[in-house]
Amino acid sequence: MLVSGAGTNLQALLDASADPSYGARVVAVGADRDGIEGLARADRAGVPTFTKKVKDFTSREHWDRAMADTVANFEPDLLVLAGFMKLVGDEFHQRFGGRIVNTHPALSPAFPGMHGPAEALEYGVKVTGCTLFVVDEGVDTGPIVAQAPVVVEDDDTVEALHDRIKVAERTMLVDTVGRMAREGFSITGRKVVLGR
């Protein structure tokens, strides 16, 4: 799993996977920065962590390769990005393509990018939500695995809205990643189907 911040989505997965019947466990947590709560959460759960900062490499490609090499060492079946604020590059797509999922705090294809909750509020939509998708080369454009709606309140702030989206996001992530692990999934074009 890769994180860049608070790691509440990671915590939800760590909590769920404490029950063996969940069918998946977090084998390692990587980050692009240190001192973040996401890494501390992994540490407390006894899950190995690693940090690779872009600025410590001579190029973005070298960072990408070093990250991908480290991820590969843990032999994950699925790579979950949750609040990971970097785009993964070619090396990731080649090695883990079709097995990387990311969570986005908006209902795709609306409001891709870094400011999903703010842009939804600004646009005046009445319903927004969250999306779990299979990562492709675009920004939040990959095939959709799951979505959950969140109603926008008249007096919402970006923070209040994002907090409610994150509640829905954690449930969506735990439910869907568990099903992906237990039941498998297939991707045909843009269509993702859970189950064998």
Here the tokens at position 112 are: 């891709």
Of 10 and 71, the one with the shorter C-beta distance to ligand GRF is: 10
Task: Give the x/- contact pattern for ligand GRF in 162-191, rule: CB under 6 A.
Answer: ----x--x----------------------
Q: For ligand GRF, which stretch binds (CB under 6 A), given 66-74, 98-106, 141-149, 150-158?
A: 98-106
Report if residue 7 touches ligand GRF, rule: CB under 6 A. yes
The question of whether 104 is a catalytic residue gets the answer yes
Q: For ligand GRF, which stretch binds (CB under 6 A), given 5-13, 26-34, 39-47, 147-155?
A: 5-13
Residue from 31, 80, 103, 172 binding ligand GRF (CB under 6 A):
103
In whole angstroms, what is the distance from residue 91 CA to residue 94 CA?
5
In whole angstroms, what is the distance from residue 183 CA to residue 28 CA?
22
Report if residue 131 touches ligand GRF, rule: CB under 6 A. no
In whole angstroms, what is the distance from residue 83 CA to residue 103 CA?
7
How does DSSP classify residue 95?
H
In whole angstroms, what is the distance from residue 52 CA to residue 50 CA?
7
Report if residue 156 touches ligand GRF, rule: CB under 6 A. no
Q: Closest Cα to residue 53, out of 37, 76, 70?
A: 70
Cis peptide before 117 (omega within 30 of 0): no
Return residues touching ligand GRF (CB under 6 A). Answer: 3, 5-10, 38, 82-83, 103-105, 166, 169
